[in-house]
Amino acid sequence: MQHLQHLAQQARNAFYWTSFDPDKRGKQTIDEHESQLQSDLESIPENEHERYISKYVELFAYWLSAHSRCASSAITGGSGFNVRKAEKANNAEHNAYQKFDEWRDNAKKAIAKRIEQNKPEAQKRSEAWERLERQILSSAATIHGINKGLERGYSKALFVSSIYQHVEVFAKKGDFETVQLAIDCIRKFNETMSVVITERHKFFKLAERAEIKKETIEERAEKENQELLIIGGKVVYNYAIDRLQLLFDEKPSYNIISSLKKNGFRWAPSETAWQRQLTGNAIYSTKYFLKENNLFIPKP
Determine the Cα–Cα distance for residues 85 and 88; give it in Å rounded to an integer. Answer: 5
Enumerate the β-bridge partners of residue 274: 246, 267
Torsion angle (degrees, nearest 10) of CA 101, 106, 108, 111: -150
Please write the tens of the pLDDT for every residue from 224-269: 999 999 999 999 999 988 899 999 999 999 999 999 999 999 999 8
Determine the Cα–Cα distance for residues 125 and 255; give it in Å rounded to an integer. Answer: 38
Query: Are 266 and 299 in contact, with CB atoms under 8 Å apart?
Result: no
Please write the tens of the pLDDT for every residue from 127-145: 999 999 999 999 999 999 9
Please write the tens of the pLDDT for every residue from 28-44: 999 999 999 999 999 99
**pLDDT, position 78:** 65
Please write the tens of the pLDDT for every residue from 192-234: 999 999 999 999 999 999 999 999 888 888 889 999 999 999 9
